[in-house]
């Protein structure tokens, strides 16, 4: 039976001379892998290979118990033509695709996260490279939250002392999953001293849109470290994000 859904292409693999195996993050079916037969032929029904970060309406078949479906139609509604011309935006798009792939399970729907991902792609398309970092950080918070892995930032993870702007020093521990106060930091080998501004933004994500680039870079470094800890493996797209965000002004 044919099914319809909306999806974002988050992984592509060449399969034979002319076909692709694609993973989509879809609105109603969650993560879904399909074969797009003949997609690489110039005159295929998909009008050329499907690229990462492309979103659109899809028609596919998937038998019960099977892991790989067959894509029969794909009508792109978002190509990301502008984001593909911007180095940082494009790499943030790839980074988001990798995160979505790593944090979601096959056929486990997360419609809210799907909307967040579409919104993020639109922001990448519309914003200049030097305005993207807050959106990237908010996207990661949304994803971590949806996956139940958001760090605890409203109190010290150890003694539960409520977060306050007047703490004299602020620490973050990936293994402890959140903020750590000065009295407890010695118990966490991997703790990192962070700036007060960074701690405030972790505590209240609404502040992220207004903070300066230095703090955003600090937060993004911390998030990559934290996500790597959760996944227990490095992300393939992370080194490029770290490299590019340091040269943005």
- The binding site for Zn ion (CB under 5 A) comprises 156, 158-159, 181, 184
Partners of 5 in beta bridges:
58
Between 16 and 186, name the residue whose CB sits nearer to Zn ion.
186
We find the least distance from the C-beta atom of residue 151 to Zn ion, in angstroms, to be: 15
We find the least distance from the C-beta atom of residue 148 to Zn ion, in angstroms, to be: 23
Between 158 and 221, name the residue whose CB sits nearer to Zn ion.
158
Nearest to 21, CA basis, from 29, 30, 9: 9
| Residues 241, 219 contacting (CB under 8 angstroms) | no
What count of other Cβ atoms lies within 10 Å of the Cβ of residue 241? 21
Between 87 and 159, name the residue whose CB sits nearer to Zn ion.
159
We find the least distance from the C-beta atom of residue 235 to Zn ion, in angstroms, to be: 30
Beta 2-15 vs 55-61: how paired, if at all? antiparallel
We find the least distance from the C-beta atom of residue 198 to Zn ion, in angstroms, to be: 17
| Sheet of 178-180, strands arranged across | 178-180, 170-173, 192-194
* Helical spans, DSSP H, in 165-248: 196-203, 213-231, 238-245
We find the least distance from the C-beta atom of residue 189 to Zn ion, in angstroms, to be: 15
Between 149 and 158, name the residue whose CB sits nearer to Zn ion.
158
We find the least distance from the C-beta atom of residue 182 to Zn ion, in angstroms, to be: 8
Q: Is the dihedral of CA 120, 238, 197, 162 positive or negative?
A: positive
Between 155 and 240, name the residue whose CB sits nearer to Zn ion.
155
Nearest to 120, CA basis, from 92, 152, 161: 92
Between 2 and 159, name the residue whose CB sits nearer to Zn ion.
159
Both tokens of residue 15?
Answer: 């399969």
Both tokens of residue 63?
Answer: 């038998």
How far is Cα 68 from Cα 51, in angstroms, rounded to an integer?
18
């Amino acid at each position: 039976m044919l099914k319809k859904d909306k999806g974002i292409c988050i992984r592509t693999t060449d399969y034979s001379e002319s076909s692709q195996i694609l993973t989509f993050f879809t609105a109603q079916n969650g993560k879904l892998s399909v074969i797009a037969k003949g997609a690489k032929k110039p005159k295929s029904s998909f009008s050329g290979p499907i690229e990462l970060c492309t979103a659109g309406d899809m028609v596919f078949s998937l038998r019960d118990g099977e892991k790989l479906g067959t894509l029969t139609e794909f009508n792109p509604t978002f190509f990301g033509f502008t984001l593909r011309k911007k180095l940082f935006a494009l790499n943030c798009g790839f980074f988001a695709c990798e995160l979505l792939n790593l944090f979601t399970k096959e056929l486990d729907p997360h419609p809210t996260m799907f909307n967040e991902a579409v919104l993020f792609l639109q922001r990448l398309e519309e914003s200049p490279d030097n305005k993207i970092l807050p959106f990237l950080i908010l996207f990661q918070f949304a994803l971590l939250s949806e996956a139940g892995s958001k760090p605890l930032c409203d109190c010290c993870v150890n003694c539960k002392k409520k977060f306050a702007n007047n703490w004299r020093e602020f620490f973050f521990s990936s293994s402890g999953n959140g903020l750590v106060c000065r009295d407890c930091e010695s118990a966490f080998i991997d703790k990192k001293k962070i700036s007060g501004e960074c701690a405030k933004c972790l505590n209240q994500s609404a502040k992220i849109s207004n903070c300066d680039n230095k703090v955003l870079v600090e937060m993004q470094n911390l998030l990559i470290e934290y996500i790597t800890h959760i996944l227990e493996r490095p992300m393939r797209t992370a080194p490029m994000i770290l490299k590019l965000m340091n040269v943005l002004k």
